[in-house]
Structure 1
Amino acid sequence: MRNLDLSPLYRATVGFDRVADLMDRALAADGTNATYPPYNIEKTADDAYRITIAVAGFAADELNVEVKENQLVVAARKAEDDTPRSYLHRGIATRAFERRFHLADHVKVTGASHVDGLLNIDLVREVPQALKPRRIEIAGTNTVDAKAVEA
């Protein structure tokens, strides 16, 4: 089922060759640990987003948030606890994890906070002025003659 023919996409577009890589990574992702830890991705404004990850049992210094090459990597490792404990029921998972999010071009992480067992990561899309749509004036033969007459 992983045999996708993207040749029609290549014939009609330019610069979207990363789409094939992204789709291949998404289809090849290991689904064994895909649900831990639970998280939300919300759109907070037109160009702003927030990722909220449930990190109950982890302190802020046990969490690591990094951005490298359009990829947000959130990892956690619980500090070793030498206290022997005997659980009757253990429902709070504090196992180490690493969660990766692929970021689109021009999406930047603006901050992170750890409140009430939730890790909030704020992101914003900052499109450079050069890439925003702009109106192009269309010059015609009449405009050149009008300027010559005015001079």
Structure 2
Amino acid sequence: MRSSDYTPLYRTTVGFDRLFDMLEKSVRSDWPPYNIEKTGENDYRITMAIAGFALDEVELMQNGPELSVVGQRKPDQENREVLHRGLATGNFKQVFKLADHVKVKAANLENGLLSVDLVREVPEELKPRRIEIGSEAKAVSLEQPGKKQLIDSDAEPQREVA
């Protein structure tokens, strides 16, 4: 899938087709390849194939609902001539949109595969709760340390409970 269409530029330029092909190949949203799995009711895993990247060349960052995976290769220190480059060696940035309350649980890099384990942790106050019908609702307030006050909508003013 291409992110940009250079077709109109092909018609108005001569001899730049190789440049446009390079631009199309440099913008790859499908690289590195990845899988997204559901491993449990609230557990997920993203697995990315990033062969050749070391631990210190890959960075994961969660900023709100976005998980960014950035790979930046360090310059090659060896002075060697590559006759054919078939392995992907470019830098990458992949951004995943996460649902509400999804957090990174763990991340591992093993055998060229980056595995990011995610878990959805809904706060207790946002979980559904059952309310009994026909019961009176009473709230407990902790206004003074050590003393509790019961607040009842049908009762007289507040009374203290030790």
- Pair 1:68-2:63 in alignment: yes
Q: Which residue is 1:106 aligned to?
A: 101
Q: Which residue is 1:91 aligned to?
A: 86
Cα distance in structure 1, aligned partners of 2:29 and 2:127? 36
How many Å apart are 1:52 and its aligned residue?
0.5
- Pair 1:53-2:48 in alignment: yes
| 1:89-124 CA-partner distances (Å, limit 9, x unpaired) | 321102001100011110010111100001110100
Asked whether the 8 Å contact 1:56–1:94 carries over to 2, the reply is no
More helix, by proportion:
1
Q: Which residue is 1:116 aligned to?
A: 111
Name the stretch that deviates more: 125-134 or 55-64: 125-134
Which of 18, 36, 45 aligns to 1:41? It is 36
4+ residue stretches of structure 1 with deviation over 3 A? 29-32
Cα distance in structure 2, aligned partners of 1:37 and 1:47? 25
Q: Which residue is 1:80 aligned to?
A: 75
Under a length normalisation based on structure 1, what TM-score does the superposition of the two structures give? 0.69
How many Å apart are 1:127 and its aligned residue?
0.9
| 1:122-146 CA-partner distances (Å, limit 9, x unpaired) | 1000011112221111118xxxxxx
| 1:65-90 CA-partner distances (Å, limit 9, x unpaired) | 00112110000110011323223332
Say how many residue pairs are matched: 112
Cα distance in structure 2, aligned partners of 1:71 and 1:59? 23
Q: Which residue is 2:134 aligned to?
A: 139
Q: Percent identity?
A: 51
More strand, by proportion:
2
User: Which one has more relative contact order, counting CA pairs under 8 Å at least 6 apart?
Assistant: 1
Gaps of 5+ in 1: 1-28, 141-151
In structure 1, what residue type is equivalent to 2:50? V
Cα distance in structure 2, aligned partners of 1:72 and 1:37? 15
Q: Which residue is 2:13 aligned to?
A: none
Superposed CA RMSD in Å reads: 1.8
Cα distance in structure 2, aligned partners of 1:77 and 1:57? 11
Under a length normalisation based on structure 2, what TM-score does the superposition of the two structures give? 0.64
